[in-house]
Chains A and B, each alone.
Chain A
Amino acid sequence: MSLLEVSDLHVSFRTTDGDVQAVRGVSFELDAGRTLGIVGESGSGKSVCTQTLLGLTTGARVRGTARFEGEDLLSVSEDEFRAVRGAKIAAIFQDPLSSLHPLYKVGWQIVEMIRAHEPVNRAVARRRAVDLLGLVGIPHPAQRIDDYPHQFSGGMRQRALIAMALALDPKLVIADEPTTALDATVQAQILDLLLRLQQENGMALIMITHDLGVIAGLADEVMVMYAGRAAERADRRGLYYRAHHPYTNGLLESIPSSGAAGARLRPIPGQPPSLIRLPSGCAFHPRCEFAMDRCTREQPELVPVEDGVRHASACWLPGRLLGTTEEMKRARQDAGAAGRTVERVPGQSTGQDAAVEEGAA
């Protein structure tokens, strides 16, 4: 049993225009000591998906299960949920200023958090808060503990938030764009810190970010989301060097590369779909250069596309189109033909039986 097992999670919001289907059947599992990176389209449901685990999507309609240490987070009562969430699952969000109360001292906020969950006196809690601030690299923590949030720099505030998230020794930390507002040196320090703490405490980490560089540096596994579903899942080398899904490849090719400074960027054409009126079949088909007839009719499920490693893609293209982006580009030339072949030969599309050449990577 994994630490966290999310299965067929659906989340939707009722709005005056109709139902916003923010998450449409997402499943994943995560073991202790491992990091799952989640990337994908703006508005693809990354935050909603994880906020649902934290009980933060009030007013949403939620379906599916999310077993944490065997217990379904989605069916426990609110009180039980809060107890589990605060103590064993912690969250770090992008904006440390809005997560720390501006009128209370940083240390006081950590102390209160500890005392809300554990029967310890103020002095003990305060000692632990000092230790934690030191652990996350705040210099002179015994003095800085009585500072207000505005007296900390952006990087220090983000570290204070991490200290707070770690105060109760959580088993799972969910970090949603934790370093987006920070410069590269501070970002690198914070990621190092998270990795170190993960090695020391064996906590599991979910890292949501648009920065594919951050993911490349720390995720064990990566889930790519598009329009509320997982488009692809792979270990990080598999994802970067042998991406299968056209959306994943589109993302990788959109990154400005240092070699070709000034060259035109190659974004995926078109706009993300409306989550109220989703396209039929594969939600990516209006923007996909490989789209075939079948894609407009049938929604592809996440299926294995490689032998021997965990690598799955929700796309009707055959598994043999796997490859580095370079190979992918070459494969693209005969892709149309390959795609149509698949259409006529049901079963081949799972990629299971299509011989998979290991990428050059």
Chain B
Amino acid sequence: MSTDSTSGGAEVGQPPTAESAATGPLVEVREAVKYFPIRQGIVFKREAGRVHAVEGVSLTVRRGETLGLVGETGCGKSTLARCITKLHPLTSGTLLFEGQDITGLSRSQVRPFRRRMQMIFQDPYGSLNPRRRVGSIIGDPFAIHGEGARDERKPKVQELMELVGLNPEHYNRFPAEFSGGQRQRIGVARALALKPSLIVADEPVSALDVSIQAQILNLLEDLQREFGLTYVFISHDLSVVRHVSDRIAVMYLGQVVELAGSEELHGRPRHPYTNALLSAASVADPDQAAARQRIVLTGDVPSPIAPPTGCRFHPRCPKAQEICVEQTPPLVARAGDPDSHLTACHFPVAPGEDLTRVTATIPEEERAE
């Protein structure tokens, strides 16, 4: 079996019940795994290892919500996002969209689903072809999905431009004539063209200054309210994620380690990695920045090619004990937490516990990598 083919679950092809299609979660990911093979050799390419980019992720995205995705650089956020929007096939696991199993669908079978899920990317400069006019860029999805004759598209595109705050008269301009913020609006307009139900935004505002960023975030919020859109929102800027998200999933090395409502997560982070991450968030206030107590993580991010055993965070965790090296903690609600707050940790951080003072319980040498 090739690594990239799928091994769907028992639900393949099973029709959704009418109820689940209407009220169930918009997206459901079960035990999603995505490996990238690493090949070496010039002539005979042999597989020298695999990047475990996403490993056993299960989560749901509810209709109309914004799910924030945060985590260590390289932990698999973009890969997971691309798996959800069918840009990458899953190595194993199941993907349900509107209650239907779409894991193993062929290219043509997936088409009607694909138009309902769109992505917005970080780089408003790189993702737009400089030689094409903005009107035709925004109209791309119509062309790709064979919607409307060429001359019918223009008014549709202009309506979209107006919707995202672009001047419809600029239909014939080139991307270079727009500012970074406007180019991001072009990306948003293109994503909206086919009236998707899901938009996955991967670092959509990271390249923009905070004022333009605020404009785009407000725009996304308005569009969500108007069209009942569901967002998956990826960013390294924790204040942005907190602002936009209803719930936040924290990832570490290919896995979700904590999942909770946005304010719940910020108020009572339970996983030691979440605690470290939130404590490192920069604050735009010099005095608060100086007074901040940061949990400093030792060691570097382990290799996703040979991830650590047990809890993947154990080589860097200030609370790690023997069991953490041996057993992977499940992502479940922990004692004292609401059902909607899930943590994958044997020894969750107690509210008020000060991790800046905890000293490692396993000596450095004994930590398996």
Contact = CB atoms under 8 A, between A and B. Distances in A.
Interface of A: 17, 39-44, 137-139, 153-156, 180-189, 210-217, 236-237, 240-241, 250-252, 254-258, 261-262, 264-268, 271-272, 361
Contacts of A361: 287
Using C-beta atoms within 8 Å of the partner chain, give the interface range for chain B. 35 or more
A41 B284 contact: no
Given A42-B207, A252-B284, A271-B182, A186 B73 contact: yes
A210 B277 contact: no
Interface stretch (B12-20, B297-305, B327-335): B297-305
Contact of A210 (B210, B294, B297): B210
B73 A211 contact: no
B71 interface: yes
Interface of B: 70-75, 177, 179-182, 206-215, 217-218, 221, 236-240, 242-243, 262-263, 266, 276-278, 280-290, 294, 296-297, 299-301, 303
Contact of A43 (B74, B180, B262, B289): B180
30 contacts: A41-B212, A138-B300, A154-B74, A184-B280, A186-B73, A187-B282, A210-B213, A212-B210, A213-B282, A216-B283, A216-B286, A217-B286, A217-B290, A240-B285, A240-B286, A250-B211, A251-B211, A254-B211, A254-B214, A255-B210, A256-B243, A258-B239, A261-B262, A264-B218, A264-B221, A267-B211, A267-B213, A268-B211, A271-B181, A271-B182
Contacts, number: 154
Contacts of A252: 284
Contacts of A137: 300
A156 B218 CA distance: 35
A181 B301 CA distance: 15
Contact of A213 (B73, B289, B297, B300): B289
A254 B214 CA distance: 6
Interface of B is mostly: helix
A155 B179 contact: no
Given A188-B294, A240-B285, A264-B218, A154 B211 contact: no
Given A42-B181, A185-B280, A216 B73 contact: no
Contacts of A188: 280, 282, 294
A213 B281 contact: yes
Nearest to A184: B280
A240 B71 CA distance: 28
Given A43-B179, A236-B286, A265-B217, A183 B210 contact: no
